[in-house]
Amino acid sequence: MYNSKITGLGFFVPDNVVTNEDLSKLMDTDDEWIQERTGIQERRHVIKGDDTTATMGVKAARIAIERAGIDKDEIDFIVFATLSPDYYFPGPGVLVQRDLGIKTVGAIDVRNQCSGFVYGISLADQFIKSGMYKNVLVIGSEVHSTGLDMTTRGRGVSVIFGDGAGAVVLSREEDNSKGILSTHLHSEGEHAEELSLIAPGMGKRWVLDIIKENDPEDSSYYPYMNGQFVFKHAVVRFSEVIMEGLKKNSLEPSDIDLLIPHQANLRIAQFIQRKFRLKDNQVYNNIMKYGNTTAASIPIALTEAWEKGMVKKGDLVVLAAFGSGFTWGSCIIRWA
């Protein structure tokens, strides 16, 4: 059995900065409410036509592959996590394979929303552990902005989400004490609809039903979030799954050099920080600048922290996520 380690990482966000002030011109909201409840000051929105979930993923991936010091044709498999694919089908994994001009390797799409990247890392890790693949490209990318209800009706959700992409290359590590030490995945479908986008879906309402009904009051094709309910579950599950990972490796919260929580809400990250008695330099947050970018938030934050020199060889880095599904997970890394 091998381990896997992150050998290259990159991110891409659109240039277009949207401030809280900008949003307050579209809906009844204000900077104070948004910052107080979420910590967000601004986010990025694609200019429609410029970028998609797949093209941003490709841009992040190019950087990750270059930093990994490998040729694109050494990538053995592609994992793409998103809730906002370019097409209903096929998923963006194959678009990345095409746009990067990689030979005909396998490509899989992960539909696990905010925890999609952690699920993707876990998948890639298993392929590498088993010896099946040597280098796996894992991407998290989202375009939220074009699908949000940018009116007062949608303000509870629309102010939170932003666009962006992050990617890593996971490669074989022969030393089992280094790299990804363990991953921990969970789901609780009982709460599937508490954070969801119901239509269009083959189950209840397809596009043709929406067009036929042509109901201006219809909000079923916008994301819905029962915010307080999600918040309460998030703080519990984040804590549980971080502890689960630490225990599995006989580690304590004080052993963490850097925690990268999914950037759901700064208040959630601060709660976890207090609970585990971590110092400011042990938790990395950038939701202030980018909002919640769902599957992209962890690889964007990890890359940014790495670029700032906050992730060094030997460090214990913990990734943790919670979101729609509900699904949640953690990843314990001894940086190699």
Place of tokens 């995945």: 185
**Residue range at the interface with ligand UT7 (CB under 6 A); choices 104-112, 135-143, 156-164, 282-290:** 156-164
Applying CB under 6 A, does 264 fall inside the site for ligand UT7? yes
Q: For the segment 96-115, give every residue that binds ligand UT7 (CB under 6 A).
A: 114
Q: C-beta of 327: minimal distance to ligand UT7 in Å?
A: 10
Applying CB under 6 A, does 79 fall inside the site for ligand UT7? no
Q: What are phi and psi of 185, to 5 degrees?
A: -125, 140
Question: Is 3 a known active-site residue?
Answer: no
Applying CB under 6 A, does 287 fall inside the site for ligand UT7? no
> Do 91 and 109 contact (CB within 8 A), yes or no?
yes
> Do 3 and 129 contact (CB within 8 A), yes or no?
yes
Binding residues for ligand UT7, total number by CB under 6 A = 20
Q: C-beta of 148: minimal distance to ligand UT7 in Å?
A: 12
Secondary structure (DSSP) of 66-91: HHHT--GGG--EEEEE-SS-SSSSS-
| Three-state DSSP state, 236 | helix
Question: Is 262 a known active-site residue?
Answer: yes
Catalytic residue among 262, 265, 286, 331: 262
**Which single residue brings its beta carbon nearest to ligand UT7?**
227
Applying CB under 6 A, does 265 fall inside the site for ligand UT7? yes
Applying CB under 6 A, does 230 fall inside the site for ligand UT7? yes
The DSSP code for 283 is B
Structure tokens belonging to residue 305: 């922290």
**Residue range at the interface with ligand UT7 (CB under 6 A); choices 5-13, 30-38, 63-71, 83-91:** 30-38
Q: Please state, in angstroms and rounded to a whole number, the distance separating the CA atoms of residues 303 and 61.
A: 12
Q: C-beta of 103: minimal distance to ligand UT7 in Å?
A: 35
Binding-site member from 91, 116, 120, 323 for ligand UT7 (CB under 6 A): 323
> Do 27 and 158 contact (CB within 8 A), yes or no?
yes
Q: Please state, in angstroms and rounded to a whole number, the distance separating the CA atoms of residues 160 and 267.
A: 13
Q: C-beta of 290: minimal distance to ligand UT7 in Å?
A: 13
Applying CB under 6 A, does 234 fall inside the site for ligand UT7? yes
Applying CB under 6 A, does 154 fall inside the site for ligand UT7? no
Applying CB under 6 A, does 292 fall inside the site for ligand UT7? yes
Q: Please state, in angstroms and rounded to a whole number, the distance separating the CA atoms of residues 171 and 127.
A: 10
Which is closer to ligand UT7, CB of 77 or CB of 117? 117
Q: In what order do the strands lie in the sheet with 3-12?
A: 3-12, 164-173, 135-142, 77-81, 106-110
Which is closer to ligand UT7, CB of 3 or CB of 327? 327
Applying CB under 6 A, does 228 fall inside the site for ligand UT7? yes
Structure tokens belonging to residue 69: 């010091």
> CA angle at residue 165 from 266 to 85, to 5 degrees?
110
**Residue range at the interface with ligand UT7 (CB under 6 A); choices 51-59, 101-109, 153-161, 203-211:** 153-161
> Do 174 and 128 contact (CB within 8 A), yes or no?
no
Structure tokens belonging to residue 301: 């934050």
The DSSP code for 27 is S
Structure tokens belonging to residue 191: 């709460």
Q: C-beta of 255: minimal distance to ligand UT7 in Å?
A: 26
Applying CB under 6 A, does 65 fall inside the site for ligand UT7? no
Binding-site member from 159, 295, 301, 316 for ligand UT7 (CB under 6 A): 159
Q: Please state, in angstroms and rounded to a whole number, the distance separating the CA atoms of residues 45 and 42.
A: 10
Point out the residues that are catalytic. Answer: 114, 262, 292
Q: Site residues (CB under 6 A) for ligand UT7?
A: 29, 33-34, 37-38, 114, 155-156, 159-160, 227-228, 230-231, 234, 264-265, 268, 292, 323
